[in-house]
Amino acid sequence: MVDILNALVAFTNFVIIPASAYGAQLAIGALGVTLIYGILRFSNFAHGETMAFGTMVVLLVTGLFQSWGISLGPLPTALLALPFGILGASALVLFTDRTVYKFYRRVKAAPVMLVIVSMGVMFMMNGIIRMIVGTDDRRFADGERFIIRARDFKEMTGLSEGLALRTTQVLTIVVAIATVALLFWFLNKTRTGKSMRAYSDNEDLALLSGINPERVVMITWLVVAALATVAGTLYGLDKSFKPFVYMQLLLPIFASAIVGGLGSPIGAIAGGFVIAFSEVTITYAFKKVVTYLGPEGWRPDGLVQLLSTDYKFAVSFAILIIVLLFKPTGLFKGKSV
């Protein structure tokens, strides 16, 4: 019995908690991709860099606050800096939209053209970020590191397996829930949010109804900048800030959005968790869990790991391919165009 509990704790500690946090980060990232797809109708390859840019501003402002001695006590100072990150990312995407994307909307360019354009934007943002902060790995999480320490948990429960709950993990979930609730309230209850959905649903009819497309596009960019900054900051707090990582996140984020159904916000959230849980479960070494569950005194030879963590991209990719083959519109019906 105790062994089963221990196995459960190990599984929670190494799979459920990290995957939930990662899933929330992916979900918020995928929401940004899916909103751009729904409103501007292209896959934005620069989304990873937008996340990196927003996070970079958060990181810099956090540093500034720390040097002034401002802090949030047990919570990371980065939370205070978050609004500034969102402002920075908003300014960046609005500037990009004005100078780059607007032209292609006007000439009604094919969506694939916009994808290539977004690749150029990605290149430039990449260069700008590196020019500002370089390529170093930076940690900017401060405050209390743990909510529950593994050692305390062991003492508390008397189990041999510890359960650690980091502040950033809980924070990720809380912020993610708040963000998603706010987003859905905005999309479903406000006039502006509804007009965005209307535009995404049927552009011509939205125009006929007097919805101003440029305003919808602008609001979308603002929302996307906020989502990207939140996702990037949560990821950076949970792990660390490395500019190149955000480009690598592009694949799992796209996979989440597509698996859920491109253009569908609910789908993006579901997709994020599907991808995160598959990735973490498949790359987790189950040795500990199996040892607890197996007969007394027996332990497996190997790590009991389905796939090495180096292949976590392969997991997103495999799920993506399976969905593309069997349900091309995604779990929640996305756009078929």
Residues 208, 210: Cα–Cα separation, whole Å? 5
- Six-digit token pair at 313? 């991209």
- Six-digit token pair at 231? 């996702």
Torsion sign across C-alpha atoms 251, 227, 87, 211: positive
Residues 316, 281: Cα–Cα separation, whole Å? 12
Q: Does 316 bind other proteins (CB under 8 A)?
A: yes
Asked if 58 and 132 count as a contact pair (C-beta separation under 8 A), the reply is: no
Give the x/- contact pattern for other proteins in 237-276, rule: CB under 8 A: ----------xx-xx--xx--x---x--------------
What residues between 128 and 147 interact with other proteins by CB under 8 A? 128, 130-131, 134
- Binding piece for other proteins, criterion CB under 8 A, among 16-24, 137-145, 166-174, 191-199: 191-199
Figure out which of the listed residues 19, 93, 121, 216 binds other proteins, where binding follows CB under 8 A.
121
Name the burial class of residue 138, with classes exposed (0-12), middle (13-18) and buried (19+) by CB atoms within 10 angstroms of its CB.
Answer: middle
Asked if 259 and 275 count as a contact pair (C-beta separation under 8 A), the reply is: yes
Structure letter (DSSP) for residue 300: -
| CB closer to other proteins, 197 vs 239 | 197
Q: Which amino acid is at 274?
A: V
Figure out which of the listed residues 60, 72, 79, 116 binds other proteins, where binding follows CB under 8 A.
116
224 CA to centre of own chain: 12
Asked if 281 and 19 count as a contact pair (C-beta separation under 8 A), the reply is: yes
Q: Does 207 bind other proteins (CB under 8 A)?
A: yes
CB of 211 to other proteins, least distance (A): 6
Figure out which of the listed residues 94, 147, 170, 324 binds other proteins, where binding follows CB under 8 A.
324
Tokens 């359960």 found at: 163
Quickly count helices (H) and strands (E) in the chain: 16, 2
Q: Does 286 bind other proteins (CB under 8 A)?
A: no
Residues 170, 161: Cα–Cα separation, whole Å? 20
Torsion sign across C-alpha atoms 190, 196, 198, 200: negative
Q: Does 26 bind other proteins (CB under 8 A)?
A: no
- Binding piece for other proteins, criterion CB under 8 A, among 1-9, 140-148, 150-158, 304-312: 304-312
CB of 116 to other proteins, least distance (A): 7
Q: Does 156 bind other proteins (CB under 8 A)?
A: no
Figure out which of the listed residues 197, 239, 242, 287 binds other proteins, where binding follows CB under 8 A.
197
Figure out which of the listed residues 24, 26, 117, 183 binds other proteins, where binding follows CB under 8 A.
117
Tokens 């960046």 found at: 92
Give the x/- contact pattern for other proteins in 44-83, rule: CB under 8 A: -x--------------------------------------
Residues 176, 172: Cα–Cα separation, whole Å? 6
Residues that bind other proteins (CB under 8 A): 42-43, 45, 100, 103, 111-113, 115-117, 119-128, 130-131, 134, 191, 194-195, 197-198, 201-202, 204-211, 247-248, 250-251, 254-255, 258, 262, 302, 306, 308, 310-311, 313-314, 316-317, 320-321, 324-325, 328, 337
